[in-house]
Amino acid sequence: MQPVNHAVYKFALSDRLKALALLCFCGIAVFFATMQSPFLYDDAHAIQDNPYIKNLSDFQQSVGIQNIFNRSVLLLTFSVNHALGQLDVFGYHLFNILLHICVGIVLYFLVAELLTLEHSSLQPQLNKLPLVASLIHLFNPVTVESVTYISSRSSLLATLFYILSFYFLVRYSKKLENRRKGLSLLHYPLLAFLLFLLGLGVKEIIVTLPIMGVLYLWIQSPAQNFHKFLPELAGILILLLGYLLYRYVEMGSLLVIKTDPSSHLVDRGLYFLTQIKVVISYYFLKLLFPINLNFEPDIRLVSGLTDWEWIAALATMACLACAVFYQKSVLLKGAFFWALLAILPTSSIIPLKQFAIEHRTYLPGIGISVGMGILFLRAMPLAIRVRHALVFLLVIFGFLAMLRSLDYRTEVLLWEDTVAKSPYKSMAHNNLGTAYLSEKRLDEARKSFEVSLALSPSSTNPYINLGHVHIRNEEWDKARLKFDLALKLGASRSQVFFNSGLMRLRLNKPDEALPFLLKAVELKSHRSLYHYELGNAYRKLKQYDSALHAYKRVIELEPDHVEAQNNIGVIFWNLKILDKAEIEFKKALQLDGDKITIHSNLANLYVAQKRFDKAIPHLKTVTAQRPDDLRAKNLLHIAEVLQQTKAK
């Protein structure tokens, strides 16, 4: 490589401040409308129903930041959000948007550092590349899913740690190249290593970072000076091998994801061939032409080695590689390699549930953004219209990103859009039905579930959701049949066992309900509702000790659960232990002084004890709110007469 004049790329402070201000403004402007988008899809179990993020003070004990294979760092960010605003979506979206902007800012500084790798003849043309690449990345509509779908924060955060760590590695190598040594440089590799570890606690896509580091050292070091970086190279490779060994020890395999059954069920060879097709015909095309974006693309496995789709994609990839290799720009070669390497963790031989999903392009998309920026800037000297084309591209990307973000305003809008683009995907219809169900549009929900079943008769989720439709219509036996069928087909979620047991309770069959409720509690012991209905089953069976234990567990999980507290009083009433029943009813009344059931229970208890003076106020409360309750009126009249008689 030719020697580089580093002074050429010393940007004025004012220019950088203007660039950073522009990046911040653009990031907020594009995604501001998504601030109130609701929780969607996997957000339910990742955030809304995730017990591990509910108490920030207990996070280290319940999760442990060192538990990286459970995405502990990602969970910590959700826990911080929950501590600050509970389940208010505004805070979660603001955090995601700020992460996206931070990625754009770090990308700006990283590309500025990497410009020194470029041939001297190309450097003047690319002096605006840091800003151009960052703007393309911020505006690209494909990033909308990563930013707006809160659970996709993993892609944003892992990418931020990835490029920050790489940035510090670049800075460190430049300092060494300038013959600066000693402890003054130690913070660079330490920061890079720390960020790598944090990235592992977010998403394992960061595992390709050491390979990217090796590539950078190889490119930026002349052959005669490469030996200077052998210690750093050895450290990087040891880091990667150490991680792989740790993963094998902890997970038992390098090629299986325990939480994703598709890792076991899908043929690895066919999955890999399918991913060759996906990378070119979906990811690459969407990053260049981000139209018709789809939350759940309908991608099918290739049929075999002779399938023309993967062969055509591989040929296209080979042509692109040749074109990039034989052109002059070093950075364009690096950008192509970045995109290809960064997509490998999700598009290789480890099968994942969804064959293609747009938030997986967030990290690889950085390479595409840099590559697009290089091509535009190199073409500018050839035609003045190229500058206008670049501005037009950014405007179009920004407009399309804002337009795409509108699809995330409600679950119904998102899934209606998805069904229109993936009409033969059973899961899309099922999720649309779930969205309709949440809005009480029962007929539309039922039709969507039936379509989902027609497309995939062995799927359990449509049966489960049809059961919920029957529940809304109070058709308990029909709902029970649907939940039982889902269990026979292999459903194993706690909710299915719970609902199957609950329907039996509604049908007054507590003995049949008990095993289903016990299984639900075994699977999800943190859910107070499961313990509450289990207590109700025990109470109906007159197994009062077990019922008391269940209700007390409810109060441990949810101290303000007034129904459980009241039912404890009812049990002591049934056992004729009236003094304890009174204590428990009073506790319930403190939790909810307006609940008529508690007033009625206390009134009955005081009448039974002939303490009419205490019964009368509660009976008056009952009759005031239930003027048609003849029993309460009669009891009040009797109590008042007896109280007067007693007074005489």
The per-residue pLDDT for 371 is 94
> How far apart are the C-alpha atoms of 247 and 241, rounded to whole Å?
10
Looking at the fold, whether 54 and 98 belong to one and the same domain comes out as: yes
DSSP notation for 221-262: S-GGGGGGGHHHHHHHHHHHHHHHHHHHHHHS-SS--TT-TH
Q: What are the respective helix, strand and coil percentages of the chain, to the nearest 5? A: 75, 0, 25
Q: What residue type is assigned to position 625 of the chain?
A: Q
- Residue 282 is given by DSSP the state I
Residues in the chain, total? 648
Residue showing tokens 């151009």: 132
Pick from 495, 491, 479, 481: nearest CA to 530: 495
116 and 151 share one domain: yes
Separation between Cα atoms, residue 72 and residue 58, nearest integer Å: 13
> CB 527: neighbour CB atoms within 10 A?
20
User: Which stretches of the chain drop beneath a pLDDT of 70?
Assistant: 1-13, 177-184, 222-233, 247-264, 646-648
**pLDDT, position 182:** 53
Give dist(CA 175, CA 238) in Å, integer: 22
How many C-beta atoms surround the C-beta of residue 349 within 10 A?
Answer: 11
423 vs 428: CA distance, rounded Å = 8
Domain that holds residue 427: 421-607
Query: For the chain, what is the total number of helices (H) and then of strands (E)?
Result: 32, 0
Give pLDDT, residue 253: 62
Query: How is residue 280 annotated by DSSP?
Result: I
- Tens of pLDDT, residue by residue over 161-217, are 999 999 999 988 887 766 655 556 778 888 998 999 899 889 889 989 988 988 888
Of the three residues 406, 431, 456, the one that is the final residue of a domain is 406
Indicate whether 462 and 350 sit together in one domain.
no
pLDDT for the residue numbered 412 = 94
The helix/strand/coil state of 495 is helix
Same domain as 583, residue 434: yes
158: CB partners within 8 A, 6+ apart: 199, 202, 203, 205, 206, 363
Indicate if 272 and 133 belong to the same structural domain: yes
Model pTM above 0.75: yes
E strands in 35-147: none
Is 320 part of any domain?
A: yes
Q: Determine the Cα–Cα distance for residues 197 and 240; give it in Å rounded to an integer.
A: 11
What does the DSSP 8-state code read for residue 279? I
End-to-end CA distance of the chain: 113
- Which 8-state DSSP code applies to residue 142? G
Task: Decide: 71 and 196 in contact? Cβ < 8 Å.
Answer: no
- 626 within a domain of the structure (yes/no): no
Within-domain flag for 317: yes
Measured torsion, CA atoms of residues 10, 15, 17, 23, in degrees rounded to the nearest 10: -110
Q: 281 with 353, same domain?
A: yes
- Do 109 and 234 share a structural domain? yes
496 domain residue, yes or no: yes
- Judge whether 237 and 210 are in contact, CB under 8 Å: yes
pLDDT value of position 99: 96
Residue 341 to residues 31, 213, 364: CA-CA distances in angstroms?
28, 12, 8
The identity of residue 258, as a single letter, is K
Are 397 and 515 in the same domain? no
Cα(332)–Cα(368) distance, integer angstroms? 9
Do residue 62 and residue 209 come from a single domain? Answer: yes
In a 3-state reduction of DSSP, which class is residue 120? Answer: coil
C-alpha torsion sign, points 488, 489, 490, 493: negative
Give me the CATH number covering residue 524: 1.25.40.10
629, burial (CB in 10 Å: exposed 0-12, middle 13-18, buried 19+): middle
Scan for tokens 């008391």, then name that residue.
Answer: 548
- One domain for residues 274 and 187: yes
Inside any domain, residue 557: yes
Structure tokens at 270: 């066919």
Quickly list DSSP for 14-64: HHHHHHHHHHHHHHHHHHGGGTTPPP-TTHIIIIIT-GGGS-GGGHHHHT-
Tell me if 617 is assigned to some domain: no
In-domain check, residue 250: yes
Angle at Cα 502 formed by Cα 497 and Cα 506, nearest 5°? 155
Distance CA 76, CA 47 (A): 11
Residue 197 amino acid letter: L
In whole angstroms, give the CA distance from residue 412 to residue 46: 20
Query: How far, in Å, CA of 211 to CA of 229, rounded?
Result: 14
Q: How many folded domains does the chain comprise?
A: 2
Indicate whether 445 and 558 sit together in one domain.
yes
Type of residue found at 454: A
Cβ distance 489 to 461 under 8 Å? no
CB 446 within 8 A of CB 463: no
Region for residue 528 given its phi and psi (left: phi exceeds 0; alpha: psi -120 to 50; beta: otherwise): alpha
Nearest of 295, 287, 365 to residue 37 by alpha carbon: 295
pLDDT for residue 247: 67
525-534, long-range: CB < 8 A, 24+ apart = 526/51, 526/557, 527/494, 527/498, 527/557, 528/553, 528/554, 528/557, 528/558, 528/561, 528/564, 529/498, 530/494, 530/498, 531/557, 532/561, 532/563, 532/564, 533/498, 533/501, 533/502, 533/505
Q: Is residue 107 situated within a structural domain?
A: yes
DSSP states of 168-218: HHHHHHHHHHTT--SGGGTHHHHHHHHHHHHHHTT-GGGGGHHHHHHHHHH
Do residues 377 and 454 share a domain?
A: no
User: How confident is the model at residue 352, as a pLDDT?
Assistant: 83
